[in-house]
């Protein structure tokens, strides 16, 4: 999406970027926590380099 989390996280867990994005969208629509999860993963990505 915007911060590159989908591609990075997809690589880590063995999914494609498209599948990861779909997961984030579903998490937002169904449970409402996808945005928070996305931001947390962005912070982890920033500090994992």
Q: Among 1-5, 18-22, 26-30, which range has the highest average pLDDT?
A: 18-22
Tell me the pLDDT band of 1, cut-offs 50, 70 and 90. Answer: low
Kindly compute the dihedral angle of the four CA atoms of residues 6, 11, 13, 17, in this order, to the nearest 10 degrees.
40
What's the structural domain count of the chain?
1
Query: What is the torsion angle, in degrees rounded to the nearest 10, for the CA atoms of residue 5, residue 41, residue 36 and residue 27?
Result: 60
Tokens 């590159």 correspond to 4
Average pLDDT over residues 9-30: 90
Range of the domain at 31: 5-47
- What would the pLDDT profile of 27-37 be if each residue is shown by its tens digit? 889 888 788 88
In which band, very low, low, confident or very high, does the pLDDT at 19 lie, cut at 50, 70 and 90? very high
Measured distance between the N- and C-terminal CA atoms of the chain, rounded to whole angstroms: 19
Predicted model pTM: 0.73
């Amino acid at each position: 999406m915007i911060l590159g989390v989908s591609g990075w996280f997809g690589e880590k867990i063995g999914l494609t970027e498209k599948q990861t994005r779909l997961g984030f969208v579903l998490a937002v629509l169904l449970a409402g926590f996808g945005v928070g999860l996305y931001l947390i993963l962005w912070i982890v990505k920033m500090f994992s380099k």
